Structure 1
Amino acid sequence: MRKATEDVVRPEIVRISNVSKRFVMRKDNSLKERLVTMGRMGRRHREDFWALKDLDISIEAGTTVGLIGHNGSGKSTLLKIIGGIIDPTSGAVERRGRIAALLELGAGFHPDLTGRENVYLNASILGLSRATTEERFQDILDFASIGDFIDTQVKFYSSGMYVRLAFAVAVHTDPDLLLVDEVLAVGDEAFQRKCLDKIRAFQKEGRTIILVTHALGQVTELCSRAILLNKGQVEYDGDPRKAVSAFRDILEDRRLSDVAAVQAHSSKPSIPSGQVLGATVHSVDLQVRDGVHPGDDLQIDIRLEHPEGLTEWVCAIQIDNAMGQVVYGTTTKRLGIELPVLSGELDVQFILRDVPFGAGKYFVNVSLMDMEGIHLHDLPQACSFDVPDYPLAVGTVHARPEFSFSA
């Protein structure tokens, strides 16, 4: 199996052909219920859930692939099928080389064995001889940094200690293919940096890595390719930044659907103290929902309502990035604006000049408050906008970089 690229011919290390995976969800909760509903009647008490549907994916050696998608999209299921942990319901998976997998916390170590014993056990499962494991044991111990706990039973480890040792074993077995499923989020920041440095070293050595993570910054920084899964199918396969942007659009659509569903079933009466009816955001002179570029003037249009008339009030905006961090906020009170009486519906507008936002998705939150700062009504994530990728830098702040040096 070989696939040609523009510059080099890379062998395929994984070939996924027409793979589907079905799980059966049972609705009878007890053994008694299952016995009563055995046979034909039992079909009423179970439901098929297709975690993956007809996937065709090939992964070339030496690439770093990020699997992204919302919870339940099939990422972890696909990674387990690639690793041979579970079998597909239909289709076939071909793989080559030694595989090391960190698929979930709690998998791979025997809780009643010590860390040292588990190192030798896992290394042997991954194909290392005892002599080779002994040669690498000190490197494994140094990387894990768990000290004397290496001779303690694993069941007494914290989640962080467990991940440290599991990752240390996996990366010191010379894998051709490394599978990582979100476990790096458990370690502390120093250990995460150590893991990322090891992954970068693997990339330089030409190893293949498949990474499942919700840290989208890691996807754009580390991966040469990203596969976006949605409801068990490939939504996008290609450039990591485009995949992340498409994923954020899916998340936003889901959020809006959830909000609409809650509002449709809500029995709460309208808020008599006033409310934020809605908001839109776009660059000045551009269409609503078009991308916002650094240096643009950003326009936020807001519609407010008060049934009786509010004489003293404040309108506030707050812009958050995709991680929920506040990147900007202001109010009409800070700006020293004298507002008219809010009676019935009223449209107001903020314009932010020469915005410096870095690449990513941003959410605008709107609040109606009284002069004392008490919130009368909030509309979280009232609208959102995207800032396209900037190839020279990353982060939430845009700045054009320059560099010089002198001997």
Structure 2
Amino acid sequence: MVVSPVSGPVVVRVDHVTKKFTVRKDNSLKERIVHAGRRGRAHKQEYTAVDGVDLEIHAGTTVGLLGPNGSGKSTLLKLIGGIVSPTSGSVLTRGRMAALLELGAGFHPDLSGRENVFLNASIMGMTPAETTARFDEILEFSGIGDFIDTQVKFYSSGMFVRLAFAVAVHTDPDVLLVDEVLAVGDEAFQRKCMERIQRFRSEGRTIVLVSHSASQVQELCDRGIVLKDGAVVFDGDVNDAVSALRDVLEGRRVGDTAAHDSGKPIEITRIEVLDAGGTARDVVPAGSPMRVRIHVQAKQAQPTWDMGFSIDTPTGQMVLASNTERLEVALPALAAGESSIDFTIESANFGPGQYFVNANVWPGVPEQTHVMWQGTRFTMEHDDTSIGTVAASISVA
């Protein structure tokens, strides 16, 4: 079991927890009447959403739960929040917990926003006097305005989540559980939420976040947990967790590198990122030159061959790609054995964050192409003056 390096006390302990659900196959009333009284489980199926999970979360850490749809992320968060009980195992928590798990959870559709603020806050352990004292802050943060006295059944999804999040973050929680709600709302509100989470982090509070956004998890979290089929397949550094998530999404075992295909006449064996002087780098200053060195193994000599590379974000978005054909470069004849080729990027103007490097090689015919995915990764250094996928020098006149 991997635990956070933070020395604070354990605020969440999940001890060999399994959660199973029974899924009915006879969904209509007619089918249930026909099957009523029949023995056996032919019309029921047991589904394991969380399978033997062990983990500890220390105070003051921000943990991201990652995984494909159906991997058990939301169920695990509900188990931590006490919304559902485990089939086996135990979940122990300490401190006040605020859970923002579903859109409008805890809201009554026939009550106004104002009434739901008091209802939701009471569910989270606040007294009416405490809620009254913080009501104006909650209203301002949510941006609901005059709609606060409108029944919430008339709210848009964005209004729902803004008000729910505003209540959750003003209950003074020790542990905040957040499930995908940061994907709702406009960009300004999402930024406001992320700023509040950053403030919580600086105050030493604990946050457990479920998100499909790898960049969001990298920005907010200091630890990543990846789930697949209800089980933890990775628990550790958040950047390594994003890499593990990509392995899961692409059907590979976590940590596996691309296997050499003995059927290809040329195989890529390794990829390196170097600076202009040829020194290996895993951190590259924005705007500096960098080299991508691709190592290959040829089974026999090749009179003609080509090579290419691409650079992706953690979510798989390509930010740069090229190859010798596009560059109109004819590589010299390749001798049998090991060789390497460098692609030089004169100015690496990528935005801040982590990137993965892929490469491919082929001897004359594309059908013989060998590809190495995520052969290496690097992080772009930045000065916090800009964000995005492109780095540029900016001045104000």
TM-score class, shorter: 0.7 to 0.9
Task: Say whether the 8 Å CA contact 2:270–2:295 is kept in structure 1.
Answer: yes
Q: 1:398 Cα shift?
A: 10
The answer to whether 1:160 aligns with 2:178 is no
Q: Could you tell me whether the CA contact under 8 Å between 1:67 and 1:211 is conserved in 2?
A: yes
What secondary structure, in the 3-state scheme, does the structure 1 residue paired with 2:251 have?
A: helix
Counterparts in 2 of 1:254-265, with a 5 A limit?
none
The Cα of 1:62 is off from its aligned counterpart by: 1.7
Q: 1:28 to 1:42 in 2, by over 3 A?
A: farther
Q: CA deviation at 1:95?
A: 1.5
Give the Å deviation of 1:46. 2.1
Task: Check 1:351–1:26 CA distance in 2 against 1; reply closer, same or farther (3 A cut).
Answer: farther
| Residue in structure 2 matching 1:12, options 10, 13, 26 | 10
- 1:42-191 matches, cutoff 5 A: 42-191=40-189
Q: Check 1:142–1:284 CA distance in 2 against 1; reply closer, same or farther (3 A cut).
A: closer
Tell me which amino acid in the other structure corresponds to 1:283.
Answer: I
The Cα offsets for residues 240-271 of structure 1, whole Å up to 9 and x where unpaired, read as: 1111111112222269xxxxxxxxxxxxxxxx
What is the match of residue 248 of structure 1? 246
- Which shifted more, 242-251 or 323-332? 323-332
Aligned equivalents of 1:113 and 1:233: distance in 2? 39
C-alpha displacement of 1:389: 4.7
User: Is there any run of 5+ residues in structure 2 with no aligned partner, and where?
Assistant: 254-265, 275-279, 285-289, 297-306, 331-339, 362-366
Q: 1:167 to 1:329 in 2, by over 3 A?
A: same
1:358-373 mapped onto 2 (5 Å cutoff): 359-361=354-356
**2:291 is paired with a residue of what secondary structure?**
coil
Q: 3-state SS of the aligned residue for 1:209?
A: strand
Partners in 2 of 1:292 and 1:248 — Cα distance? Answer: 22
Do 1:292 and 1:385's aligned partners in 2 also have CA atoms closer than 8 Å?
A: no
Q: Which residue of 1 aligns with 2:23?
A: 25
Aligned to 1:127, what secondary structure does the other structure show? coil
CA–CA separation in structure 2 for the residues paired with 1:126 and 1:285 = 49
**Which residue is 2:302 aligned to?**
none
Contact kept, 8 Å, 2:273 with 2:291, in 1: the verdict is: no
Indicate conservation of the 8 Å contact 1:359/1:386, yes or no: no
- Cα pair distance change 1:106/1:134, threshold 3 Å: closer
- Match of 1:36, as an amino acid? V
Distance in 1 of aligned mates of 2:177 and 2:164: 12
Cα RMSD, aligned residues only: 4.1
C-alpha displacement of 1:53: 1.2
CA contact (8 A) 1:181 1:213 kept: yes
Compute the TM-score of the two structures, normalised by the length of structure 2. 0.73
Q: Is the 8 A contact 1:283 1:298 kept in 2?
A: yes
Number of the residue aligned with 1:327: 319
Q: Does 1:387 align with 2:377?
A: yes
Give structure 1 stretches of 5+ with no counterpart: 256-277, 302-314, 339-348, 367-376, 402-407
Point out the more displaced range, 27-36 or 384-393. 384-393
**1:259-274 alignment runs, 5 A limit:** none
Change (3 A) 1:26 1:218: same
Q: 1:81: how far off?
A: 0.9
- CA offset digits 1:344-387 (Å, max 9, x no partner): xxxxx996324847633356799xxxxxxxxxx9x9x9955441
Query: Cα deviation per residue 1:96-116 (whole Å; 9 max; x = unaligned)?
Result: 221111101132211111111
SS of the equivalent of 2:55 reads: strand
Number of equivalences? 343
